[in-house]
Amino acid sequence: MLTGRSFYQTMNETQDILISDQWIVSRRGGKNSVDPRRPYAMLVEKERAITGETEDTAIIFLTNRECAFHCLMCDLWKNTTDVTIPVGAIPDQIEWALERMQPAKHLKLYNSGSFFDGRAIPEEDYPRIASLVSHFETVIVESHPKLIGDRCLQFRDMLKPELHVALGLETVNPDLLLRLNKRMTLQDFTHSVSFLNSHGIRVRAFILLRPPFLTEEEGIYWAERSFDLAFRVGVECCTVIPVREGNGAMDHLLAQGHFSRPDIRSLETVLEYGISLNAGRVFADLWDLNLFSSCPECFDGRAKRLNEMNMNQILPAPVECTCLQD
């Protein structure tokens, strides 16, 4: 297993790095060129639904105003605008995408920030969005936990599909959560989940695997504790995201030895743990999965195994490889 300096050693060594909005933003490169009338990406993928069936899920990556938060590990700002986009632009993007995508039962509307941020998606757009997506069974949007409130209910009341909300929990290590500049406490997260659940809205949580300042073992430990809390407070589905560099701030921490990418084997370990809890759906984010493997011998086998775990929520036989002796 890869190791490194422990969380508390690293915390002591890096007290001089004041991780602020300004520190994070000043390390960024340029944004990509985006068109406010077009989504910057879209795809249809298979996902295990709450019914247990594997079903097509469409994802529209909406071009939107940059998120008001500046989390240390986030690179979603790359495909955003600096200013609020006009009323009507978000429904136009959805309409344009749906005309071109293959049919699916479920839809994720991801806007690189918070769907319920009024400066990102104006309330005036809710009725047209609701009408455009009325043929889906489920609509999933994302939000910062602090922006959960009456707007969610307003949107839900217009929707025919069932509304699910994805919230970034990131980690239950409170000191680390502070350093991620998420501007959220675990209490904020818990309150938001309770609020949504009390109004019949299901919640999925994003959990990070090995944020900066952690050893590989600590990364596994905190991801597992994050599953524990998420399910305990009422989350229905968790997605674990292996952390990577690429946003400037993370590259700086990587170069300074305060961050290393997690290993694909750790992703298997935490997914196995999450599935074994039998408390809700558990997924691993498999985007750019090859970044997390240094062994060409077993990468394909591990990728297949992770996909099988995502789809079937079972624990297939482990992949045997000489890299296990690292």
Contact residue for ligand SF4 among 19, 60, 62, 71 (CB under 6 A): 71
| Distance of alpha carbon 283 from the chain centroid | 11
- Applying CB under 5 A, the site for Zn ion has a residue count of 5
Q: Based on the shown chain and the rule CB under 5 A, indicate whether residue 298 belongs to the binding site for Zn ion.
A: yes
Q: Based on the shown chain and the rule CB under 6 A, indicate whether residue 119 belongs to the binding site for ligand SF4.
A: no
Q: Based on the shown chain and the rule CB under 5 A, indicate whether residue 306 belongs to the binding site for Zn ion.
A: no
- Applying CB under 6 A, the site for ligand SF4 has a residue count of 10
Identify which of residues 195 and 299 has a Cβ nearer to ligand SF4 in the complex: 195
CA angle centred on 240, ends 38 and 114, rounded to 5°: 40
Could you tell me the smallest distance in angstroms from the CB atom of residue 141 to ligand SF4?
12
35 binds, among Zn ion, ligand SF4, none (CB under 5 to 8 A by kind): none
Contact residue for ligand SF4 among 7, 40, 61, 69 (CB under 6 A): 69
Cα 143 to Cα 265: distance, rounded to the nearest angstrom: 30
Q: Which stretch binds ligand SF4 (CB under 6 A): 6-14, 71-79, 217-225, 254-262?
A: 71-79
Cα separations in angstroms, 212 against 92, 236, 272: 38, 27, 22
211 binds, among Zn ion, ligand SF4, none (CB under 5 to 8 A by kind): none
Q: Based on the shown chain and the rule CB under 5 A, indicate whether residue 2 belongs to the binding site for Zn ion.
A: no
Residues 236-295 interacting with Zn ion (rule: CB under 5 A):
295
Alpha helices in 149-263 (DSSP H): 150-158, 174-179, 186-198, 216-233, 249-255
Q: Based on the shown chain and the rule CB under 6 A, indicate whether residue 113 belongs to the binding site for ligand SF4.
A: yes
Q: Based on the shown chain and the rule CB under 6 A, indicate whether residue 70 belongs to the binding site for ligand SF4.
A: yes
Q: Based on the shown chain and the rule CB under 6 A, indicate whether residue 144 belongs to the binding site for ligand SF4.
A: yes
Could you tell me the smallest distance in angstroms from the CB atom of residue 292 to Zn ion?
12
Query: 65-69: which pairs have CB atoms within 8 A and are 24 or more residues apart?
Result: 65/113, 65/119, 65/120, 66/112, 66/113, 67/112, 67/113, 67/114, 67/117, 67/120, 67/144, 68/113, 68/114, 68/117, 68/119, 69/113, 69/144, 69/181, 69/182, 69/183
Q: Which stretch binds ligand SF4 (CB under 6 A): 70-78, 255-263, 307-315, 317-325?
A: 70-78
Neighbours of 153 (CB within 10 A): 15
SS3 216: helix
Tokens of 282: 């558990």
Cα 240 to Cα 267: distance, rounded to the nearest angstrom: 8
Binding site for Zn ion (CB under 5 A): 295, 297-298, 321, 323
Binding site for ligand SF4 (CB under 6 A): 67, 69-71, 74, 76, 112-113, 144, 168
